[in-house]
Structure 1
Amino acid sequence: MEFSFELIALLFCVAGIAGFVDAMAGGGGLITLPALLMTGISPAQALATNKLQSSFGSFSASWYFVRSRTVQLKSMRLAMICTFVGAALGAVSVQYIEPDILMSLIPILLIAISMYFLFMTVNNESNLPPRISEAAFAFFVGGGVGFYDGFLGPGAGSIFAVCFMAIARCSLVTATARTKVLNFTSNIAALLLFILAGLPIWELGLIMALGSFLGGRLGAKTVVYHGQKWIRPLVIIMSMAMALKLLWEQHEQWLKLIF
């Protein structure tokens, strides 16, 4: 397929906006995936190309958080390994397991996440001990949410953030930084499998990757300097937007269950 300069420029800008939003609140795929589908490529190619560009955005945000010492990779090694393995297993499993039942539960989870962020207690610095050990967190949260991100993905970043705050007792800024590191890990795991299957559209993916990289860097910088002022409302908006989008797509299935 041939793509016009105007379309490529538009996708670059869309990826930049999505990377900015995703670095702070997750849900960038809500912006980029519909844009990719509008180009006429297949859904599988759109998903793979979206993982390609989002990997650059999550890398950019993670890199900034590491360089600013908001997060230290040494303390996250085990969680990264578990997340990578979980995401790889999820990306393989989605080819054999029917995801409809899980998809019907995701909007409820996203609404719950938005309510958590709306009513949570302000927590700029957390000195409370984590509720579970580092190894348990890595296995259950890293592996579990990683599996979900590879299997389906909507709201994975928001789920990671809530787990880091509610279970690991991190501040909002620290939780956001650690979330992006694990998001990048799960993105890479899924992307490798998509590449092996020959699905990404490299021409679109790499152009969008540049926009996503720049947007992710700006979003991460905004998190470090503005923190909770920007993160909370964006997480609430993006979680509710994802929930409403999924509910709309599933409305016929829900009507059948109700009636």
Structure 2
Amino acid sequence: MFEVTFHILLLLLCAAFVAGFVDSIAGGGGLITVPVLLLAGANPVEALSTNKVQGIFGSGTAALSYAARGHVDLRRQARVALIAFFAGVLGAFLATVVPTDLLRLGLPVILVGIAAFFAFKPGLDDLDRAERLTPPVLAVTAVPLIAAYDGLLGPGAGAFYMIAFVTLSGYGVLKATAHTKLLNFASNLGGLAAFAAYGAPWWATGVAMGLAQMAGARVGSIVAMHIGARIIKPLLVVTSTILALRLIWDML
């Protein structure tokens, strides 16, 4: 039934739970699951596409958890999520024709910049600030760009959504985190739709990992809602830094 042995499946489930926990708070869950899938024997396309399968469970659960506590209105985000979905589809299809080497070279620098922003910028907390872009403008500028990147490559997309909401929408850290999850779900789903057309996801394994992701995402979102910026900021700094180092390692 599963594409891997039972023992490897247990390892993947543990990785998915941890990834769901981390991703629901700060993003970067793919930093955990993609390398583990590669170690389990998946080729790069299988690893990326299976990661999309299990990732939609985690981001969807986190979105519902934050919405249930009133931190985000999913109905108001529906149109923006639709934009993220189609941009994710486009990004995934572009991955087959566009060379991504240059983008990979610049990504570690961007991620280190994000880590430094959240580590050293004073006054970042759960309070809202002045809005720099209205929601409609954000929906047709930053959102499709990040969603297309999510389909094209993926690592750090949650952090990019997060910093857009903090710097452009003026959201507090917890509110920004809550608002990233539906968009991350939508662009993940769009990427999966494209990968399913030309890739080969491990469907059974991906769904099993998705269930573990749901449990991790549920726990992580509860922790984030209770502690807020005090845990979101340091975890975001750590995940962005580790992801940057991982990408540098891969290039070397």
TM-score range, shorter chain: over 0.9
Q: SS state of the match for residue 233, structure 2?
A: helix
The answer to whether residue 141 in structure 2 is matched with residue 140 in structure 1 is yes
Q: In the TM superposition, what is the alpha-carbon distance from 1:69 to its structure 2 partner?
A: 1.2
Q: TM-score, normalised by structure 1?
A: 0.93
Please report how far the alpha carbon of residue 198 of structure 1 lies from its aligned counterpart in structure 2 after TM superposition.
5.2
Correspondence for 1:257: none
How far apart are the structure 1 equivalents of 2:89 and 2:148?
Answer: 7
Where does structure 2 lack aligned partners over 5 or more consecutive residues? none
1:78 lines up with 2:61 in the alignment: no
Structure 1: tracts of 5 or more residues without a match: 252-259
Amino acid at match of 1:152: L
Moved over 6 A (4+): none
Paired residues of 1:29 and 1:50 also in contact (CA < 8 A): yes
Query: 1:132 Cα deviation (Å)?
Result: 1.4
Quote how far apart the aligned CAs of 1:188 are.
0.7
| Mapped partners of 2:3, 2:92: distance in 1 | 29
Count of aligned pairs between the two proteins:
250
User: CA–CA distance in 2 between the matches of 1:177 and 1:237?
Assistant: 19
Would you say 1:124 and 2:121 are equivalent positions? no
Write the distance in 1 (CA, Å) between the matches of 2:143 and 2:170. 15
When residues 2 and 52 of structure 1 are mapped into structure 2, their CA distance, relative to the original with a 3 A threshold, is closer
Larger radius of gyration: 1
**1:39-78 alpha-carbon deviations (Å, 9 max, x no partner):** 1121111111111011101111011111111100233233
Which residue pairs with 1:194 in the alignment? 195
Q: Give 1:90 deviation, angstroms.
A: 0.5
Output aligned runs, 1:22-41, within 5 Å.
22-41=23-42
Alpha-carbon distance in 1 for matches of 2:19, 2:78 = 27
- Give the structure 2 partner of residue 54 of structure 1: 55
TM-score when normalising by structure 2: 0.95
Matched residues, percent identical? 36
Q: CA RMSD in A?
A: 1.3
For 1:129 and 1:76, the matched residues in 2 are separated by 20
The offset of 1:82, in angstroms, is 1.9
Kept in 2: contact 1:78–1:135 (CA 8 A) = no
Aligned-partner Cα distance in 2 for 1:229–1:130: 23
Which residue identity lines up with residue 157 of structure 2 in the other structure?
A
Distance 1:185 1:202 in 2: 18
Aligned match of 2:43: 42
Query: Which residue of structure 1 aligns with residue 17 of structure 2?
Result: 16
Provide the residue aligned with 1:181 in structure 2: 182
CA distance in 2, matches of 1:6, 1:88: 33
CA contact (8 A) 2:50 2:202 kept: yes
Q: Which amino acid aligns with 2:67?
A: V
1:2 Cα offset (Å) = 5.3
